[in-house]
């Protein structure tokens, strides 16, 4: 160990004196040692033989398969069991056929009898309130007395309060004074009946339809008179006759009237011409006539504004509508119907006076007779104006818009029981 230290002492001293050279020597020295070892190994290896003297490489041979004897196994015979063929099962005996029962032929169902048409409510029943108010008071007034001066005075008060109008009340009173003085209650009633019937027959004029197409009907009336409902029922009547109908919603100042007419149009199955709410009614009337001409309609029914009849602008508006309608259809409007509410009593007479001046009314429609005791106003209207009464309204259904029949109306007022339908 001491010798080894002494051998490398000068080297270590040199490295300490020259550190950089020592680092380089430390890096190179391992490679020198490796090279020295390789040289020593090559010097000690035996010399290589020439290629010709080398032993030839042994070719690979495939080993042959070796047969392995199989041991013989003695097989014992297996007995085969032969089964006899199956015996077919006997066929089941079919059950005897069920007896055939021949059902008797069904009797033909009886022919269905058509349902009888619903009977129309009698006008006698619809005018119960008017009849009770008039005849009830008349019977209490006369009783068993004879028709004298006192009875005539009381009768005068009764007639003036029966919404007949002053002119008509005086006319009826004069007829009783002339033809029933000294008579009894029965004779008094008979004279009144004949006098009323005479007045109403003068206005029982059937509607005359124009030969031109379309037949234009202008409908007037104040709000709440039943004007729009009457238009719908009229359209239904024409439609049931096979006519093609168009309706014009000319009451532009009331949105509910336009909507109500549209409902009737859907219910009846006819077209409704309308404009903007608050628009010009004359423009709607003009468009309605144009539509009726373009579509080949048979009837055009035009609604109008129903504001208070005392307003001058309304009167001028109605006159404008009449002028506009006549431009494209000669003679139109062919009918101008004024709808009046019987509940208004004598006010209906003042309405008729103003409307006839504005539009030349050709026919009256008195509505709501079933709910009022003032049905006598119809006699006053007939006597005052002589305008034909076309229809009366006695209910809400389509059949309740009826053609006016003077005999039927008077009979419903004076008959004690029963009456014509």
Per-residue DSSP letter, 52: G
| This prediction's pTM | 0.70
Distance, CA of 28 to CA of 22 (rounded, Å) = 10
Minimal CA–CA distance to 334: which of 292, 376, 277? 292
What digits encode the pLDDT tens for the residues 132-167? 888 888 888 888 888 898 989 999 999 988 888 889
Spatial separation of the C-alpha atoms in residues 396 and 95, rounded to whole Å: 73
Strands 245-248 and 215-220: unpaired
CA–CA dist 165, 382 (Å, integer): 11
Q: Provide the token pair at 3.
A: 């010798």
The pLDDT score that the predictor gives to residue 69 is 53
From CA 192, how far away is CA 149, in angstroms rounded?
Answer: 17
Distance in angstroms (rounded) separating the CA atoms of residues 36 and 28: 13
- Dist CA 369 CA 376 (whole Å): 10
Angstrom distance (rounded) from CA 200 to CA 105? 64
In terms of average pLDDT, the best of 25-29, 75-79, 173-177, 412-416 is: 173-177
- Distance from the Cα of residue 350 to its chain's centroid: 40
Angle at 51 (CA atoms; ends 46, 57), nearest 5 degrees = 105
Bigger pLDDT: 251 vs 211: 251
CB half-sphere exposure, 277, CA atoms < 13 A = 6
Give CA angle at 109 (104, 110), nearest 5°. 135
Q: Which residue has the tokens 């309130």?
A: 129
179: three-class secondary structure by DSSP: helix
Work out the angle at residue 292's Cα, subtended by the Cα atoms of residues 287 and 298, and round it to the nearest 5 degrees.
150
The answer to whether residue 22 scores a pLDDT higher than 80 is no
Residue 223: name the closest of 300, 320, 285, 311 by CA: 311
- Residue with tokens 């004007």, as numbered in its chain: 227
Q: What is the mean pLDDT of the chain?
A: 81
Per mean pLDDT, which range of 202-211, 223-232, 373-382 is the poorest? Answer: 202-211
Among 150, 146, 157, which Cα is nearest to 188's? Answer: 146
332-371 pLDDT, tens digit each = 999 999 999 999 988 999 889 888 887 889 999 999 999 8
Q: Which residues pair with 273 in a beta bridge?
A: 248
Instruction: Write out the E strands in 101-214.
Output: none
């Amino acid at each position: 160990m001491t010798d080894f230290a002494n051998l490398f002492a000068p080297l270590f001293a040199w490295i300490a004196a020259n550190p950089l050279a020592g680092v380089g020597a430390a890096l190179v020295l391992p490679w020198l040692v490796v090279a020295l070892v390789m040289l020593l190994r090559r010097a000690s290896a035996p010399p290589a033989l020439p290629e010709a003297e080398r032993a030839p490489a042994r070719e690979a041979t495939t080993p042959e398969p070796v047969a392995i004897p199989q041991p013989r196994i003695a097989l014992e015979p297996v007995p085969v069991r032969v089964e006899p063929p199956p015996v077919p099962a006997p066929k089941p005996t079919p059950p005897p056929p069920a007896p055939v029962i021949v059902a008797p032929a069904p009797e033909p169902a009886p022919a269905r009898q058509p349902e009888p048409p619903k009977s129309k409510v009698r006008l006698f029943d619809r005018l119960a309130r008017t009849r009770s108010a008039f005849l009830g008071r008349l019977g209490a007034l006369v009783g068993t007395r004879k028709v004298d001066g006192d009875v005539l005075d009381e009768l005068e008060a009764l007639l003036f309060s029966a919404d007949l109008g002053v002119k008509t009340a005086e006319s009826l009173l004069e007829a009783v004074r002339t033809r029933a003085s000294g008579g009894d209650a029965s004779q008094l009633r008979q004279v009144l009946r004949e006098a009323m019937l005479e007045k109403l027959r003068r206005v029982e004029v059937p509607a005359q339809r124009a030969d031109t197409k379309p037949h234009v009907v202008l409908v007037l009336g104040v709000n709440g008179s039943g004007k729009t409902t009457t238009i719908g029922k009229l359209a239904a009547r024409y439609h049931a006759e096979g006519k093609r109908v168009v309706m014009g919603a000319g009451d532009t100042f009331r949105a509910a009237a336009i909507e109500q007419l549209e409902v009737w149009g859907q219910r009846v199955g006819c077209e409704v011409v309308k404009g903007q709410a608050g628009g010009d009614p004359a423009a709607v009337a003009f468009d309605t006539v144009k539509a009726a001409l373009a579509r080949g309609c048979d009837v055009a029914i035009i609604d109008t504004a129903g504001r208070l009849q005392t307003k001058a602008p309304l009167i001028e508006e109605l006159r404008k509508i009449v002028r506009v309608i006549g431009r494209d259809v000669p003679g139109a409007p062919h009918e101008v119907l004024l709808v009046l509410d019987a509940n208004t009593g004598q006010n209906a007479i003042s309405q008729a006076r103003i409307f006839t001046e504005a539009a030349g009314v050709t026919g009256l429609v008195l509505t709501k007779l079933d709910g009022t005791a003032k049905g006598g106003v119809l006699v006053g209207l007939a006597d005052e104006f002589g305008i034909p009464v076309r229809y009366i309204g006695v209910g809400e259904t389509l059949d309740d818009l009826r053609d006016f029949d003077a005999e039927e109306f008077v009979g419903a007022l004076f008959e004690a029981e029963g009456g014509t339908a």
